[in-house]
């Protein structure tokens, strides 16, 4: 996906499927965009628990790096069974991220 200059911008457990043949499939490209690697994005989007610090702070961000952050959260959840950042409110969650 990234080699085709496409960023997903909403990678999360619910958007990653594994087929019966053990092939990983990424779904829901509603926020996906094709972009040059050196162009920063501005649109605030994604799922709160998976957002990178740049998105949370509403700064310009590199979509490819934001996807990698989200995949790190996915890996963390798969290994530990819990999210790396938890809070009762979205505002508190964003402060922790």
Give pLDDT tens digits for 55-92. Answer: 999 999 999 999 999 999 999 999 999 999 999 999 99
* Interatomic CA distance for residues 81 and 42, integer angstroms: 31
Catalytic one of 10, 20, 28, 67:
10
Region 23-51 average pLDDT: 96
Residue span of the structural domain in which 91 resides: 2-96
pLDDT of residue 12: 98
Region 44-60 average pLDDT: 96
Active site residue 10: yes
Give pLDDT tens digits for 31-41. Answer: 999 999 999 99
CATH number of the domain to which 30 belongs: 1.10.510.10
Tally of domains in the chain: 1
């Amino acid at each position: 996906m990234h080699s085709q200059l496409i960023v997903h911008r909403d990678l999360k457990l619910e958007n990653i499927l594994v087929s019966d043949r053990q092939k990983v499939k990424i779904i829901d490209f509603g926020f996906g965009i094709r972009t040059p690697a050196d162009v920063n994005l501005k649109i605030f989007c994604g799922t709160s628990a998976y957002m990178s610090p740049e998105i949370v702070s509403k700064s310009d961000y590199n979509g490819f790096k934001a996807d990698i952050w989200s995949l790190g959260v996915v890996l963390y959840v798969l290994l530990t069974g819990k999210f790396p950042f938890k809070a009762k409110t979205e505002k508190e969650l964003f402060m922790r991220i």
